[in-house]
Amino acid sequence: VLVMYSLSIVLCAVVAVSRAGVLAPAGHVTPVLAPAAHVAPVATRVDEYDPNPQYSFTYNVEDSHTGDSKSQHETRQGDVVQGAYSLVEPDGSRRTVEYTADSHNGFNAVVHREAGTHPVPVRPVYQAQVVARPVVQYSSPTVRLSTQAPYNTGNAYSATYQRQH
């Protein structure tokens, strides 16, 4: 009996799946014609390869408020890049890194360190306000006990039944 129920369920599922796409639309469908879209022309300009790229840049920061002092300069001629950057470290010394990079030797850097003339002023560390430890107090909830009055108290309703003849 179980096999028959299983077969009938499978048969119903197959029929439902096969009929799913055959249903006719509920109403009349009007075709919509869209206007022809004109496609913008595609850019065909190709940037040419520069066999000898060149650039040069520098920047410098001197901030007396924060004590920030750093600089960098870099140049490129073809495949050779040369440059240097420097910064003032927290102890007041100046670190300078000079570097070169090319396709034959790779990246090479030389680090120089100059003793500081004056230490960079350090701002004081924030001191948190000392707060007393909170006093932990435990309190137990107030318990109020009440008893339910028994059902047999109070005035009982009574009536006498008299049979009428």
Give the single-character DSSP code of 68: E
Domain around 105: 54-114
User: Distance (Å, rounded) from C-alpha 154 to C-alpha 148?
Assistant: 13
pLDDT at 97 over 90: yes
User: Distance (Å, rounded) from C-alpha 59 to C-alpha 77?
Assistant: 19
Q: What is the pLDDT of residues 68-82, one digit of tens each?
A: 889 999 999 999 999
pLDDT at 22 over 70: no
Reference 104, options 80, 82, 84, 83; nearest CA is 80
19 within a domain of the structure (yes/no): no
126 within a domain of the structure (yes/no): no
How many structural domains comprise the chain? 1
94 within a domain of the structure (yes/no): yes
User: Residue 28: how many CA atoms within 13 Å on its side-chain side?
Assistant: 1
pTM: 0.44
The share of the chain scoring above pLDDT 70, in percent, equals 76
CB atoms within 10 A of CB 147: 5
Q: What is the pLDDT of residues 31-61, one digit of tens each?
A: 777 777 778 888 777 878 888 899 999 999 9
